[in-house]
Amino acid sequence: MGAQRDQVFISNGGIADVNVVVATVDPDLGHRGQASFVVPKGTPGLAMGKKEDKLGIRASQTAEVVLENVRVPMENLLGGLEKLERKLERARRGESGGASGALATFEVTRPFVGASALGIARAAYEWTLDYLHGQTAPEGGPLLEQQRVQQVIADVATEIEAARMLVWRAAWMGRNGIPMTGGQGSMSKLKAGDVTMWATTALMDLVGPEASLTDHPLEKWFRDAKIYQLFEGTAQVQRLVVSRMQVAERERLVAEIAAEACKMRRKTP
């Protein structure tokens, strides 16, 4: 694979038994000239670079993967050579490549990322409810009966449930092989990440200054939440994906309706 190149911010980088590397095999075709290869652990030239010291999810290994003059056998080409040659030939003829396999894969995997984010939001929410239970407000009366507290609790609970429904729908579609042509997988990850970041922040505000201490559960969940707006596609990228897929889906539906109407007119005597 040529000279040394560092692939950064790789989950399980340097410790994974199997690495999937996307490499360019025809530079003239741009991104359509890429192929995916399986590079097993222990392959000569494959090494771990810098291990990152992260803000959150610190139990997850994140490191550079260094590739230096790595050679892999042809059987490690994902999909096989025949499929790759057909793909490259279509690209050279300027034909549409159809739906991106990588994008379709991301749509299926993003609900799992959303579910992980929601686990953080739910943990922070339940911990805060338990913490506030039985406490008295400075002005008297149970803290959980204060309207300002109830408003936050209601909003957090509602947003978590809304995000959960998006995650469940996308996971069900992926499990049943239903194409997520409207960006349902990206929607679920986008919503879950934003909700988790907002919810942990709002709950810290309820608890007060002690929630910012480094030995406090909410401080950890707050740090862990941020990555879900960044990895597997940033929140901004998710919005671009959803927008483009929604437009494409609408155009497809309009074309189908027009074709059906044309067919019906031809059948009418």
Please state the φ and ψ torsions of residue 68, each to the nearest 5 degrees: -130, 110
Query: By three-state DSSP, how is residue 15 classified?
Result: coil
Residue 75's Cβ-count burial label (10 Å; 0-12, 13-18, 19+) is exposed
- Here the contacts of 120-123 (C-beta below 8 Å, separation 24 or greater) are 120/196, 120/200, 120/221, 120/224, 120/225, 120/228, 121/156, 121/160, 121/163, 121/192, 121/195, 121/196, 121/199, 121/200, 121/225, 122/160, 123/217, 123/221
Instruction: For residue 260, indicate whether it is catalytic.
Output: no
Query: By three-state DSSP, how is residue 208 classified?
Result: coil
In whole angstroms, how far apart are CA 194 and each of 6, 56, 96?
Answer: 30, 16, 34
Q: Of residues 52, 64, 232, 251, which has the active-site annotation?
A: 232
- Report H helices in the chain: 81-92, 101-132, 147-175, 184-207, 217-226, 235-267
Alpha-carbon span 70 to 44, nearest angstrom = 6
Residues annotated as part of the active site: 232
